[in-house]
Amino acid sequence: MNLGVAGLIAAYAAIAILLLSLNLTSLWRWWVKAAAIVVTTAFFGLTYYSVINLLGWPTTHQTPARFSLVASRIAEPDKQTNTPGRIYLWAEELDENNIPSGRPRSYELAYSARLARKVNEAQEKRDQGQEVMGVLADRETDPSDQPRGDIKGGKMQNDNTGQTPAPDTVPFREDASDLSFEDLPPALLPDKGPP
């Protein structure tokens, strides 16, 4: 079950239980009723964040190690409104046979000029009808690899306070050398066996 669906069900179940138990004829003390109101209000926030996952907002989690690029969009940084750029990928995870497994998912990446050029070149190939595969380099093989400290929660931070990135940070290197795009190899189909 999707975490968003589970959160939504839990939130509405809690509200229903509280509404059934805290009726007008309840003999509970006022502080118990006040605490129930606070808890119910907190569940409204949980509902909001759960619904976002159901509406298809892009995730800031790391892309799969190998994925088929379905589409992309590059939003350049805007100095007038002081908004950092974003790169959006719509991707399908590939299994070991180069076959898409699961449904496409939208990813939001922090903007860098080099990553934007790579994504733009991959999208041009896609526009010409060529299948493109994204490959995320294995981060554990390079001990000098350090995640960017100016990305937190998938968003560029304007100040360099030295805080460690959030767990859902998209940890691309500054030069975007850990993400590459190449032609999608043909799917590896099993042998049909003897006729």
pLDDT score for 30? 79
pLDDT-flagged residues of the chain (< 70): 1-2, 4, 20, 22-25, 52-54, 139-177, 195
pTM: 0.61
pLDDT score for 124? 95
pLDDT score for 24? 60
Residues 100-137 as b/e (b if ≥16 CB within 10 A, e otherwise) read beeeebebbbbbbeebbebbeebbebbeeeeebbbbbe
pLDDT score for 29? 82
pLDDT score for 176? 60
Paired strand residues for 150: none
pLDDT score for 69? 93
CA dist 195 → 188, 189, 192 (Å): 20, 16, 8
pLDDT score for 25? 67
